[in-house]
Amino acid sequence: MNVVDLAVTNLTSPAVLAFALGIVAVWIKSDLRLPEALYSSLTIYLLLAIGLKGGVELSQADPAAVWRPALAAITIGVLTPLVLFPVLRRVLGLSRVDAAALGAHYGSVSVVTFTAAITFLGALGVSYEGFLPTLLAIMEIPGIVVALAIARSGAAGGGDWKDAVRETLTGRSIVLLAGGLLIGFLTGPDGMEQVAPFFVAPFVGVLVLFLLELGMTAGRRLPDIGRIGFKLIAFAVATPITLGAAGVAAGTLAGLSLGGSTVMGVLAASASYIAAPAAVRVALPDANPAIYLTAALAVTFPFNLVAGIPLYYAIAQAIH
């Protein structure tokens, strides 16, 4: 299957089409809305389901097969903001605070992009390591911490980075992912079998509803694209391609399978719009949300969802 076929397969998936429907709903000024309580519930469900499944697989995994991918994941998370910061400062001309804020978003990961990737692989019948949700949890934090440290090292008037780190570690995304991993690890396959009718079978349907809401959120930010400049838009497309290719290569060197290397590439290419915004809001109150939210949510997320995931899979195929 070539890249075009992969892209068509991804574009015609229910999850991607639901995301597109959300954008269209905003464009035609529909009154479509998901209740805030439902959106919050969908988030909790997806994070806990991912954690549970990963914990079960981790309980059966060989530690020798996990440590290399885990080390690669940490390395990517730490290096990403360090590499991007000077680019954002010199090429895009962003202030120190805005460059650090944007680096924090790309140094962290998107849970929904990860979920879309494993759904994509499942549709193709491509297997992958079950402990990948562990890598997701590992990669969510280091990039944010490094980016905040960069900002604090040379900027005055920022918020307390310790509070930001605490909020990141105690935020619902980390608590649910880590908690789900622990529950799945302790209960194993027998425990997962008890909750499978709720956490396994409806998973894709819940993802469709979640992406419908995210489509509407992204659609409301599309007008900001024209105001943030061509250079930032180009960055928000070129960066995931570069990081995605590097992530695939790192995953392959760490011993991951074709599917696992693809997901590592997706994680490296994704940008956070849950954990990172919460941390940046506390630690870098002067950072411009129109820059980091528009780049991460209105440009990079749709790009990865539509074209990035099949592209990283094609790169993994070529390397493998």
pLDDT at 240 over 90: yes
Please give the pLDDT value at position 237: 96
Mean pLDDT of 102-126: 93
Cβ 217 vs Cβ 297: under 8 Å: yes
pLDDT surpasses 90 at 183? yes
Does residue 107 have a pLDDT over 70?
Answer: yes
Q: Residue 215's pLDDT is what?
A: 86
Instruction: Give Cβ neighbours of residue 144 (< 8 Å, ≥ 6 apart).
Output: 104, 107, 108, 164, 165, 168, 272, 275, 276, 279, 280
Q: Which of 32-41, 184-193, 261-270 has the highest mean pLDDT?
A: 261-270
Binned at pLDDT 50, 70 and 90, residue 3 comes out as low
Residue 1 has pLDDT above 70, yes or no: no
CB 69 within 8 A of CB 57: no
Cα Rg of the chain (Å, integer): 18
Most confident region among 22-36, 112-126, 194-208, 235-249 by mean pLDDT: 235-249
Find the mean pLDDT for residues 236-250.
97
Tell me the C-alpha distance between 157 and 190, whole Å: 52
More confident: 109 or 222: 109
| CATH, domain range 34-202+224-319 | 1.20.1530.20
pLDDT band at 6 (very low <50, low <70, confident <90, very high): confident
Indicate the Cα dihedral angle 112, 114, 120, 122, nearest 10°. Answer: -110
- Could you tell me the pTM of the whole model? 0.83
In sequence order, what are the residues at sequence separation of 6 or more whose Cβ sits closer than 8 angstroms to the Cβ of residue 53? 130, 133, 184, 192, 199, 200
Report the candidate in 238, 276, 316 with the shortest Cα–Cα distance to residue 109.
276
Provide the mean pLDDT of the chain.
Answer: 88
Residue 270 DSSP symbol: -
Give pLDDT tens digits for 254-294. 999 999 999 999 999 999 877 788 678 777 888 888 888 88
For the ranges 67-81, 159-173, 219-233, which has the lowest average pLDDT?
A: 159-173
Q: Please state, in angstroms and rounded to a whole number, the distance separating the CA atoms of residues 110 and 293.
A: 13
> Domain-by-domain residue ranges, the chain?
34-202+224-319
Closest CA to 264 of 11, 74, 55, 65: 74
Measured CA to CA in angstroms, residue 123 lies from 66, 116, 200 at distances of: 25, 10, 15
Quick check: 71 pLDDT over 90?
yes
Read off the pLDDT band of 44 (50, 70, 90).
Answer: confident
Q: 226 burial class (0-12, 13-18, 19+ CB within 10 angstroms)?
A: exposed
**Statement: residue 214 has pLDDT above 70:** yes
